[in-house]
Structure 1
Amino acid sequence: LVSLSISTSMFVYLKPPFTSSPLLDLVVSVLHSVVLPALNPNIYSLRNQKLK
């Protein structure tokens, strides 16, 4: 989860400006702001089940 978050952030800041695509920017921003927070409770619940 952390690596996915860092990789999307790095992609946004390190991509060349001349390859800017509005659709690609939208996909990356949705991934970073919707998908990652939605995955967070699932990962923690799996971790808690593993500890039991």
Structure 2
Amino acid sequence: MDDVHCGYETDERELLCDYIDEALTEHGVDVAALTSRHGLGRYQLTDKWRNW
């Protein structure tokens, strides 16, 4: 957490997004296909719920 903004640093956000992507992939989710069906880019999967 960032003490000034009470949020995550950019590199921490990127690591978290990579972790989510890897976890989904390891459990058989085709992230590229999932996001494509919703008109999103692969790395926009969590945008709806992001507030960091």
TM-score, normalized by length of structure 1? 0.36
- Greater RCO between the two (CA within 8 Å, min separation 6)? 1
Higher relative helix content? 1
Q: Structure 2 length normalisation: TM-score?
A: 0.36
- Structure with max Cα Rg: 1
